[in-house]
Structure 1
Amino acid sequence: MATDMDEADRQRAICAHALYLLNLLLAPGLGFAALWWCRRRWQPQAGAELRQHLQQAFIAALWSGVLLLLVTAAVPLLGGFGNSTTWIVLILYFTLIHAALVLSGAYALARAMAGLPCRYPLPGLWRPR
């Protein structure tokens, strides 16, 4: 079930999802800035499939940043910094959610490498754009 995405668009889709993973794993912020720049530069001349990959990777990066920052800030504030339960909840949340985001990014990267469309399982990304 290959699509009509040309080689340049496929490479750009791969780059977008690789930058999403870079943002999550190695260089938070720097990977997001690079993804934002690539999306802004490539989207005007992009085909439908590349536009979908760019939009999916960018919105997923926004969601992952919001989830990780807000929840990791809210849990200690609500539970107290001295409470051991707070730290257990924080570590479990960060480990499980972060792992799910990385796995969905790896799945999206594999789909981009195959030249297939992808949808991240996050609210607001259910329908291809």
Structure 2
Amino acid sequence: MPVSEDSEQEIPGQSLAIWTEVLYLSNLLIAPGLAFLILLWLYFKRSANMPTLALCHLRQTISASVWAGVLLVIANITIILLGGYAAPKTWVIVIIYFTTCHSTLVLLGVLGLAKAMAGQKYIYPLVGRPCD
């Protein structure tokens, strides 16, 4: 079936929405901290004139990144309270954290990326913010 010209047109803000989701996944998997700083820079410097699709994805990724940081701090506090990093319980906490919290946040990022590539808004369950 031939591709129509309409299907090749980009929705306003779609490429920026894709980049915000890629930065979120990079924050979780490749460059923690650095990718988050870039997301914050985008929010503070460019959000005023950003299309609604991109702004929605940017707000979701920042909110989810903050929650990821909070959950990581909670996991570290739990490790310290239960005997420190030398205790055998440490690995149990680390494995539980990565198999539940971290994996869920990565999966939400992949779903957000798929929605951004489709040109649709996406609100992360539990950790997302409402879009206008």
Note whether the superposition's TM-score is higher than 0.5: yes
1:62 aligned to which of 62, 66, 80: 66
Matched, 1:42 2:49: no
- % of aligned pairs identical? 38
Is the contact made by 1:76 and 1:87 (CA closer than 8 Å) also made in structure 2? no
Aligned residue number for residue 94 of structure 1: 98
1:74 aligned to which of 77, 84, 87: 77
User: What do the CA deviations read for 1:70-126 (whole angstroms, capped 9, x no partner)?
Assistant: 123211122102432342123211332111100000000000000011011124x25
Q: Which runs of 5+ in 2 are unaligned?
A: 1-9
Is the contact made by 1:23 and 1:61 (CA closer than 8 Å) also made in structure 2? yes
Is the contact made by 1:10 and 1:112 (CA closer than 8 Å) also made in structure 2? yes
Q: How does 1:105-120 map to 2 (within 5 A)?
A: 105-120=109-124
Q: TM-score, normalised by structure 1?
A: 0.84
Q: Which runs of 5+ in 1 are unaligned?
A: 1-5
Report the Cα distance in structure 2 between the residues aligned to 1:38 and 1:10, rounded to whole angstroms. 15
Q: After the TM superposition, which segments of 4 or more aligned residues of structure 1 sit over 6 Å from their partners?
A: none
Is the contact made by 2:108 and 2:124 (CA closer than 8 Å) also made in structure 1? yes
Give the alignment's Cα RMSD to 1 decimal.
1.9
Structure 1 counterpart SS, 2:47: helix
Q: TM-score, normalised by structure 2?
A: 0.82
User: What do the CA deviations read for 1:34-89 (whole angstroms, capped 9, x no partner)?
Assistant: 11112223211122222211111111111111111x12321112210243234212
